[in-house]
C-alpha cells in the first residue's frame, strides 16, 4: 500500500509538470476539442497555473495524508482514502476552473463535474457494500 500511495502521489505531481502551453493542445482534455476561435478566448496561462498548482498540492498532500492514514488507521481506511481523495480533489478542481470554460461557451466542464460526482457516489456505495 505504501508503494501505491507513493506512485499515485508522484503521478499526480508529475502531471502538473507534464502539461505546458506547447503540448496543451494535445494533452488537455476538453481544450483539445475546442475550435481555434474558442481557444483564443480561453485563458490558457491562467488555467495552466491553477492546473500545475492543483496537481502539485494534490500529489504532496496525497503522499503525506495517505501515508499517515495508512500508518494510523490501516489498509482498509487507507484504501478508502486512495479511492475517494482524488475524486473529491478533481471535483473541487473542476468547480474552480469552471470560469475558464464558461468563457468558451463549452459545457464539457459541467459534464465532467457530473461524471465525477456520480463516480464519487458509486465509490462510496461500493465501500458501503463491502
Phi/psi of residue 115, nearest 5 degrees: -60, -40
Q: Is the dihedral of CA 81, 82, 87, 93 positive or negative?
A: positive
Number of residues in the chain: 130
Global pTM reads 0.84
Kindly report, residue by residue over 29-60, the tens digit of the pLDDT. 778 888 888 888 888 999 999 999 999 999 99
Write out pLDDT tens, residues 48-91: 999 999 999 999 999 999 999 999 999 989 989 999 999 999 99
The three three-digit cell numbers of residue 72, written as one number: 494510523
CA pair distance 29, 19, nearest whole angstrom: 11
Amino acid at each position: 500500500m505504501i508503494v501505491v500511495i507513493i506512485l499515485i502521489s508522484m503521478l499526480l505531481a508529475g502531471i502538473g509538470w507534464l502539461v505546458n502551453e506547447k503540448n496543451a493542445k494535445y494533452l488537455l482534455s476538453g481544450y483539445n476539442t475546442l475550435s481555434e476561435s474558442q481557444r483564443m478566448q480561453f485563458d490558457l496561462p491562467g488555467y495552466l497555473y491553477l492546473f500545475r498548482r492543483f496537481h502539485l498540492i494534490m500529489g504532496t498532500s496525497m503522499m503525506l495524508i495517505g501515508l499517515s492514514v495508512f500508518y494510523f488507521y490501516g489498509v482498509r481506511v487507507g484504501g478508502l482514502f486512495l479511492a475517494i481523495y482524488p475524486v473529491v480533489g478533481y471535483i473541487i478542481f473542476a468547480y474552480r476552473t469552471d470560469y475558464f470554460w464558461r468563457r468558451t461557451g463549452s459545457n464539457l466542464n459541467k459534464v465532467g463535474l457530473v461524471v465525477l460526482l456520480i463516480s464519487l457516489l458509486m465509490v462510496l456505495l461500493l465501500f458501503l457494500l463491502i
